[in-house]
Amino acid sequence: MTHKVKNVEIITLSNEWALLNRINFDFQFKNKEWRTVSREVYNRSDAACVLLYNSEKRTVILTAQFRMPAYLNTKNEGTSIEVCAGLIDGNEKPLECVLRETEEEVGYRLPTAIKIMEVYMSPGAITEKMHLFVAEYTPEMKINSGGGLEGENEEIAVLEMPFTEALQLLKDNSIRDAKTVILLQYVQLQNLI
Ligand SMILES: Nc1nc2c(ncn2[C@@H]2O[C@H](COP(=O)(O)OP(=O)(O)O[C@H]3O[C@H](CO)[C@@H](O)[C@H](O)[C@@H]3O)[C@@H](O)[C@H]2O)c(=O)[nH]1
Ligand SMILES: [Mg+2]
């Protein structure tokens, strides 16, 4: 289905760490009538994430960190369990981003990772597209203890756990980050572990 859009007007509401715009545009509805619509849109670069798994040990590597938006929503949900993820820098390719973030956040140097899909995280509000990857890791790939970039005020706990424990965290809804839910279910559905 194609939609007809014209006269797109962009009004910047905030341009600090990321860009928040109000977009006014004319939109043609099903009955052919054109009407002016207004939407606020938060702009960030695209992002990439990876679920690390070891099929021999039957383990996965996840992270835990404080997320203010989740805390604002529900106080005791501020600590978020997530796959390793980050925003794509400049001209970086999604795979390069995933390999860099894996070193920074969990301390593993991966030879490569496999792309699974691309999803919008919140298409009604944020332009960000997320590139999802999986990758097999082994203990020999560990090069540092991870934890994120202190200069960026990141404090990331590295959680290596049996896959069965991660599935239990899914089941009891202790994992509430959508990309992490998708990737854990993908690994389970494809019997990668
Ligand atoms: N100065 C400043 N820094 C910020 C701000 N917001 C975030 N940061 C910092 O910018 C860095 C971004 O880290 P990345 O690892 O690149 O991204 P991420 O925060 O992990 O984002 C990913 O995970 C999020 C949570 O699931 C996702 O929301 C996001 O889409 C992405 O996938 C972090 O150090 C974070 O503290 C801000 O408003 N100001
Ligand atoms: Mg991150």
106 and 29 in a common domain: no
95 and 28 in a common domain: no
79 and 38 in a common domain: no
Asked if residue 47 has its Cβ within 6 Å of ligand 1, the reply is: yes
177 and 93 in a common domain: yes
Q: What is the ipTM of this complex?
A: 0.92
Number of domains within the chain: 2
Total residues belonging to the chain: 193
35 and 11 in a common domain: yes
75 and 35 in a common domain: no
Asked if residue 86 has its Cβ within 6 Å of ligand 1, the reply is: yes
Give nearest CA residue, ligand 1 atom 9. 152
Enter the DSSP assignment of 108.
Answer: B
Residue with tokens 């545009």: 25
Model confidence at 151, pLDDT cuts 50, 70, 90, reads confident
31 and 14 in a common domain: yes
- The model's pLDDT over 78-107, given as tens digits with 9 standing for 90+, comes to 999 999 999 999 999 999 999 999 999 999
Query: Which CATH number belongs to the domain containing residue 162 in this structure?
Result: 3.90.79.10
- Other Cβ atoms less than 10 A from the Cβ of 52: the count is 23
34 and 82 in a common domain: no
Tell me, what's the pLDDT at 152?
79
Question: How many whole angstroms from 58 Cα to the centroid of ligand 1?
Answer: 29
104 and 21 in a common domain: no
75 and 33 in a common domain: no
- Other Cβ atoms less than 10 A from the Cβ of 130: the count is 20
Handedness of CA 98, 101, 105, 109 (dihedral sign): positive
| Cα distance between residue 121 and residue 140, in whole Å | 33
Tell me, what's the pLDDT at 32?
94
Model confidence at 24, pLDDT cuts 50, 70, 90, reads very high
169 and 104 in a common domain: yes
121 and 36 in a common domain: no
pTM of the full predicted structure? 0.95
**What range does the domain containing 163 cover?**
47-189
Region 146-156 average pLDDT? 87
Phi/psi of residue 171, nearest 5 degrees: -65, -40
Asked if residue 85 has its Cβ within 6 Å of ligand 1, the reply is: yes
Mean of per-residue pLDDT scores for the chain: 96
Question: How many whole angstroms from 85 Cα to the centroid of ligand 2?
Answer: 4
Domain boundary among 43, 58, 73: 43
Tell me, what's the pLDDT at 85?
98
